[in-house]
Amino acid sequence: MSETILIILGMGVVTYLPRMAPLVLLANRTISEGLIRWLRFVPAAVLAALLTPELLLRGGAFDISLSNHYLLAALPCFAVAIRTKNLFLTVFVGIGAVMLINTYA
């Protein structure tokens, strides 16, 4: 087998195992209510960890000025997300905000 095929197969295994392991290991077990409650916060925590540096840092420095276009575009997105809880509307508002800010700034 060529090295490329082995790399592709290895990447498939590395991608597949972390997704299947919890399903196989926890399939016949009862998960506590506390763990389920804790797991509900994981997506929000991951999203916050990914977004915060992107929104608040420019060139490695803290930047909350009006020249930070990503932060300005995020503000209406946060408002729409909190008010409507609609993912698609939030994404469209974000796209529109970035377009407007980049057009007029």
Judged on CB neighbours under 10 Å (0-12, 13-18, 19+), 73 is: buried
Each residue's pLDDT, cut to its tens digit, for the chain (105 residues) gives 799 999 999 999 999 999 999 889 888 889 899 999 999 999 999 999 999 999 999 888 999 998 899 999 999 999 999 999 999 999 999 999 999 999 987
Q: Where are the domains of the chain?
A: 1-30, 42-104
Please identify which residue in the block is written with the tokens 């990914």.
50
Which is it for strands 61-62 and 57-58: parallel, antiparallel or unpaired? antiparallel
